[in-house]
Structures are given as structure tokens and as C-alpha cells.
Chain A
């Protein structure tokens, strides 16, 4: 049975019937507030899309949502993040901006009591959610214009001082990373109070082996030493010197999130128990846990219970015969994920350039070495072929019938890499590949792109009818992590 999605207006109806007691159960910064002996009214977050649309998130009106209460809870939490970061500061916490590495440095920040990490990088979605070019225009005035990745919105947000609190510290990763974003970081450093630069090493000369990538000797040690500098600087910021046990505890908390995310990837991409839009939000929760790792973990549990129940009841969010597609590079405009599903496809695997945030971190040995080891599985620090193979593996395991690569106009790695990845997918699996650049913020998928998407899906449907493929998705590893 297919569970119907909910429109923006559908959520309004459903929300009206929710009991207040349910909403009162969910609030953030529980531990911090427990120490103060109170629950602040601002910390509740289970509100409908209408609330956030009123405060500028116009695009929510165009999206389709999962109909579960767990998903509503997740959306409320995620949409609430700007306020949460400001409230963190008001509670006396240190706010640390981590940039560029997408997943590793927040593990260290969470080892320091009273510190909260966040990625300004994630504001790349804000212009699309608000259907606004305000942040792009602000970035342009600072020297990064249209010919650059949408991640330039982060620079606009720094300049505006109103999308997140001015960070107590910026930890900016550069080196083997996105060129455009390194430029954004460089200019943001001119605005931030203090920036600590961290170098991400290139994953040199390695080959795919088993469950991950092999790494040149010395690379891990180099990165581990970089993380030591981060720990020392955070120590000066907070007056706290974490032991290896503190670092290990932070790694364990992170692994908990990553393992739950892995299970959700399995439910979402293999068993179609959650839609692609919600799954993207889940995956990106592994970056900085939307600024409250404990509450985010609770939300993941809630989503897991929903998925378990759906699977038990034989419920899916997509038809059995939906066309199976792997998606490469996250779409800056989330509407595309809904659009594909509405047109009869479903996403069975992703390579959202955050592989480093999905893999487990070893819980034995020296913690910084372990963190470095996990980061060396990163999507962006190796060859395009390695990145392509992350998608190929999932496509093969899950019987994908096509691949979609959503690029970014002006994104330097997209221009160079999308073609290479498309070639590798075609070579390895012989699958049709659709490449397109996500256009600037808009209310809807433009007609030209809509036609291309329809044509692509028709090709997939045609191939299926010719080959007589079954619609079954093969199961992958229990975690869903390739």
C-alpha cells in the first residue's frame, strides 16, 4: 500500500487536529535547560510548514511532505535551526562555525561541553527555501558573483549577521575540497572574528578496496595532526582540555547518529519507507545534527519507528513499479526530489558529497586517528572515479535503472566532474544518465527542465518494458551504507 504524501495545505489540516500535549513533548537543548531548571517556550519546535512559510520559507508551499508525525517533528526542528543557534548563544554556549569538510570537525566540537557546531555551508539551501536572491546578492557585493557555486550564500549570510550568530570561532577546511567554497571561506574569514584553517589532504593514489578507500601512508597522520590543532584551539576557547575518553564519547554519539542514518537509508532507499526529500534532510543531519545532537538522535529514533511500522504493515511511499534512480550531488532546490517522485520515479541511492559523514568512525585506537581515518573516505578528496563508484555500487546493489546528476551552474567541480561521473556510470552499468544544472531560486521546475526530466523517465520506462526488468529492489548491507 502506498502512503500518500501531504501537501502544504494538507499539513495545515493535519496540524490543526494535533493535541497540544504532543507538541509539548518536543523541545531542544534539553540537558542545558534541565541544568537551569526550566523549559523555555522558545525551545519547542514541532510546528507546521505554515509557521516557517510565514517567516519567509516560501518554498515549503510548493513541496510535498511525508505524512508522518515523525516527519513533521523533523521539519519543525530543521526549520528552527537559526533561532536555535541564537538561543545557544543566549544560554552561554560557544557557537563554532565549521566549514568545508562536511562532517568531521563537528565531532570534535561536540567533545567540548557548552559548544555547538554548525555549517554555514548549509545556507546554500536558504535562497531556494525562501525563493530569494538576497544572500546571493550579498555575496556578489563582496566579490563572489553568479559564476560561482550556490554555496556562496554562506558568504552572504556571514555578511548579514542575521542567519546565524557571529561565531565564536570558525574552523575552515580547505585543500582537497571545493574550489569555490575555499573562496567563500577566504572572504568569510575577513568577516569572522577568528578563523582556524585546517587542511584536508588529497587521497592520493588509492584504489577502491572492500568497504572503503585505501589511503597513502602518512595521510591519516597528517590529518590527525590537523585535528590536534583544532582540539587545542577549542581548548583555548572553552578552557576545557578533553581527554581521549571525552573524544571517544563524542565519536560514539556521532556513530549513533550515523548508524541510525544508515538504517534509515536502508528503509528509505531500499524499502521506500520514506520519501527522497525527507531522506536528504536525514542524510545531511549527519553534518552537524542541526545544532543539537541529542535531540536529532531522538528524531532519528522517531523516524525509525515510523519506518519500522510501515515496513511491518507493508506500506511504502512509492509504488512498487516506480522507476529506480540514483542521485548524485544534492539538489540545491529540494523541489526536484519531489518532482521526480511525482513523475513516477524513486530514489534508491545517493552520492551527496557527504560520504565522510555517513561512514562509521573506529572506536578503537587514538580518537583523532580514527576520525581522520573516517574522513579519508570523503567524497570530495579523491578522484571523480572514486566518487562515481560510490554511486555505481549503490546503483548495482539496488537495481537502479538510471542516474541523475544535479549540478550547479558555476560550481567548479560540477562543471568538471559531472561529465566524468556520467561517463563512469554509463561505462560500469550502461545506465542512462540525466545531467542538469539546478536553476536559480524559483517557484517551480521550469518547463524546459521538466520536459527533459519527463523524457529521461520515458527512456527508463521504455528500457524497462524492453528488458522486462522486475521492479524489485535488491537489498543491500544492513546499514545501507555502501
Chain B
């Protein structure tokens, strides 16, 4: 691999101040897939902060992508607030028992100013380790579930979705409470050195309508993003699944970068690309199952489309890289995105 002019930190620094970069940043969401790089189980990755960080560092070394992505799954906040999770040997933690069967009463909502139960300490240790190890050259992203997704992990999911219709104010009370907890955790993440990425997969168009998104997800996403803007941070919001019903609304969250999944890139750029950098959106199934040549060809095409985004583009996968994705396919993705995303005019003075 030839030496590049900029490192990921420098490249990202230019992107977020609206300056051209030497090439588009490349960001396959190598999250728990990173466990494979060091031969760890996903359980080890998800339950030991130092292991998580080391796997991420090793994956970044191996594939040469532009971010460290500290993430296991969407239960981080919910577990800290009382939901129970199961930890399979080689899969991400799964919700075993939500804290509540139905929407809680206001009196059930205790103080959440210092969420530190569950895997919070583990996660913060991963952030600190990665920050110490590599933050001078690579941005360290710390994924935090957004309030809507967390709320759906605290209450029986069907009951929660039903509650949006039958007891909307009670649902909002829960969402307010979760938002306070999320903000408190976000502050700890910032202090540990992680750039927060908010993930709200359960608020996608695959789960709720655009109207429900506007009422029950957007204000709370906006709340946590507003908190981060107080620190002048550039925030990625990731909404996976069907982005069609919500894409027009996503810029209203205040996110600086929108990470999208199942939606045409042209459509996403037209709807949001004037206000937000677009991050996306290579199909993960294709990354997993196609040949390296097919991956490279399709990724190059995606980047050529994405570079039309006025606010900037990050070549990413639409969601997390599946565990069984061959190394060769990730390599092909990274190489093709780099090649198609190269800005040959960079550094040439007029």
C-alpha cells in the first residue's frame, strides 16, 4: 500500500470544516467484526474494554480504514438502566429481559445522572485505551444508542411501539428520562476521548413511520446532538434500515454527518446533502457474499455518486460489516473507495 499524504485524523479534520480532502474518508463499519482480526470471540470483544480497543486498533491496522469504531450493539444504555442481556459466544449481546413489560410510570424513573452499570465502565475503558493509543492519527468513534432505540430496549418492544399510539405522553416521559441518561453517558464518553456517534436503528423507516419519527425519535436525537454541539463536536447520526420515510427529517436533528443504509444515495444527497455530510451506504449483504471484484466495482460506483454530495461524503457500509465477511472483500471495498475517492487536485496550488 503506498503512503498517503494525509492520515485519517487530518482527513477528517478537513471534512468537518468544509474543506476538500486528499480523498474521501473510507469507513466500513468494522465493529464487532474486528474481534476476528485478533482471533477473539464476539463475547470477549463485547465484554472486555481492552479487548474491544485492541481488536479495533488491529482491524484499523489490517484494513487501513479511517476510523476506530467502538461498538458492540444497541443495549449499552438500556443495560446500564436495568435491562438484562445474554452474551452468546460468537454473536453480539441480545436482549434477554427488558426492564419493564409496559411503559413505566413517572414514579418508576429514578435518578440517571451517573449511568455506570452494565458495560458502561468496560466501554469507557475501551474509549480511553483507543484514545491513548491512536487518537493522534485516527478519530476514535464511540457508538452510543440514541434514546428511541434505548427506550425500545427498556420496555417490551411491542408494548413500547403500541404505547406510542395509546399512551404517547407516557412514552415521551420515558424518552425524556432516557435522553438524560444518554446525555450523562455521552459526557463520560467525551471525557474519555471518544467522538460520539448516535445510532438509532429502531427509529428507521423499517420500524416506524415518518410521523412517528418526527414525534418520538427526532426531538430526542436532537437533544443529545445539541449537547455534543455544546462541545463543538461533529456528530454522526446512524439510522440503519429503510431511510426513505425519514431522510427529509434527519437534517433537523442537527447531525453533522448522516450515516444512512437502505436508500438511494442520490435521494439521500438530494434530501440532506446540502446540510449534512452523507456517510454511506454500501449494502452489507453484498459486502459479505459478493466476490472481491464485484465489491470493488460496486464500491467504486458508490463513491463516484457520493462525491457529488455538496457538504462532503464518507464511503461507508450501510450498516455493520457482518461477522463472516471475508477479509478480501473488506480489502476490496477499502481499495476501491480510496481509488475512486482520490482527489487528484488536492495540494495543487492554483
Mark A residues whose CB is within 8 Å of B.
Answer: 9, 12, 16, 20, 23, 41-42, 44-45, 47-48, 50-51, 53-56, 58, 82-83, 86-87, 90, 130-132, 134, 159-163, 165-166, 192-193
User: Can you name 19 A-B residue pairings with CB atoms under 8 Å?
Assistant: A12-B191, A20-B230, A23-B230, A42-B17, A51-B231, A51-B232, A53-B131, A53-B135, A53-B193, A54-B135, A54-B195, A55-B9, A56-B135, A58-B131, A58-B136, A134-B10, A160-B6, A162-B6, A166-B347
A166 and B345 alpha carbons, distance in the complex (Å): 13
Residue pair A193, B350 in contact (C-beta under 8 Å): yes
Which of B18, B19, B232, B350 is the most central at the interface, judged by chain A CB atoms within 10 Å of its CB? B232
Q: Which of B10, B194, B229 contacts A162 (CB 8 A)?
A: B10
B232 and A47 contact, CB distance less than 8 A: yes
Let me know if B5 and A193 touch, CB within 8 A: no
CB-contact partner of A16 in B5, B9, B187, B194, under 8 A: B187
In the bound complex, CA of A47 to CA of B49 (Å): 28
Tell me which residues across on chain A come within 8 A of B191, comparing CB atoms: 9, 12, 50
Known A-B contacts A16-B187, A20-B230, A50-B231; A87 and B135 likewise in contact (beta carbons under 8 Å): no
Query: Given the complex, which residues of A lie within 8 Å of B11, measured CB to CB?
Result: 162
Q: How far is the CB of A87 from chain B (nearest CB, A)?
A: 7
The 6 closest A-B pairs by CB, nearest first: A132-B136, A193-B349, A162-B10, A161-B347, A47-B232, A130-B136
Asked if residues A54 and B136 are in contact (CB atoms below 8 Å), the reply is no
* Distance from A397 Cβ to chain B, minimum over Cβ atoms (Å): 41
Where chain B touches its partner, the secondary structure class is: loop
Minimum Cβ distance to chain B for residue A195 (Å): 12
Q: Which of A16, A54, A131, A192 contacts B193 (CB 8 A)?
A: A54
CB-CB under 8 A from B349, the residues of chain A are 166, 192-193
How far, in whole Å, are A193 and B9 apart by their CA atoms in the complex? 25
Q: Taking the complex as formed, is B13 at the interface, i.e. its CB lies under 8 A from any CB of chain A?
A: yes
CB distance from B19 to the nearest CB of A (A): 6
**Contact status B6-A131, CB under 8 Å:** no
Question: Does any Cβ of A come within 8 Å of B190's Cβ?
Answer: yes
Contact (Cβ within 8 A) A87 B17 = yes
20 new A-B contacts, CB < 8 A, other than A56-B136, A134-B137, are A9-B191, A12-B187, A16-B187, A48-B231, A50-B190, A50-B231, A51-B231, A53-B193, A54-B135, A54-B231, A56-B137, A86-B17, A86-B18, A90-B18, A131-B136, A160-B5, A161-B22, A162-B10, A162-B14, A192-B349
Residue interface bits B177-218, CB-to-A below 8 A is 1, else 0: 000000000010011011100000000000000000000000
The CA-CA distance from A429 to B137 in the complex, in Å, is 46
Question: B18 to A134, Cβ gap below 8 A?
Answer: no
A50 and B137 CA atoms in complex are apart in Å by 17
Nearest-CB distance from B292 to chain A (Å)?
A: 31
Q: Smallest Cβ distance from A202 to chain B, in angstroms?
A: 33
Q: Report Cα–Cα, A12/B192, bound state, in Å.
A: 11
> Could you say which of B17, B187, B194, B230 contacts A54, with CB atoms under 8 Å apart?
B194
Report if B164 contacts A (CB, 8 A).
no
Q: Which residue of A lies closest to B140 (CB)?
A: A54
- Residue of B132, B136, B194, B346 touching A134 (CB-CB under 8 A): B136
Query: Is B58 an interface residue when CB atoms closer than 8 A count as contact?
Result: no
**Chain A hits for B350, CB < 8 A:** 193
- Asked whether B263 is an interface residue with its Cβ less than 8 Å from the other chain, the reply is no
Q: Tell me if B233 is interfacial: C-beta within 8 Å of chain A.
A: yes
Which of A9, A47, A55, A134: most chain B Cβ within 10 A?
Answer: A55
Interface residues of B in 286-303 (CB under 8 A from A): none
Complex CA gap A160/B137 in Å reads 13
* Beta-carbon contact of B231 and A47 below 8 Å: yes
Q: What separation, in Å, do the CA atoms of A163 and B346 have in the docked complex?
A: 14
Contact in complex: A162, B13 (CB < 8 Å) = yes
The chain A residue with its CB closest to the CB of B190 is A50
Residue interface mask B62-101, A partner, CB < 8 A = 1: 0000000000000000000000000000000000000000
B29 to chain A, nearest CB (A): 20
A residues near B170, Cβ cutoff 8 Å: none
Flag whether B342 is at the interface (Cβ < 8 A).
no
Give the complex CA separation of A92 and B132 in angstroms. Answer: 38
Contacts of A9 on B, CB cut-off 8 Å? 191
Are B18 and A161 neighbours in the complex by a CB distance under 8 Å? no
In the bound complex, residues from chain B placing their C-beta under 8 Å from that of A130 are 136
- Measured between beta carbons, the chain B residues less than 8 angstroms from A44 are 232
A165–B350 Cα distance when bound, in Å, is 12
CB of B7 closer than 8 Å to a CB of A: yes
Chain A, Cβ-Cβ closest to B196: A54
Q: How far is the CA of A281 from the CA of B150 in the complex (A)?
A: 44
Q: Which B residues touch A58, using CB under 8 A?
A: 131-132, 135-136
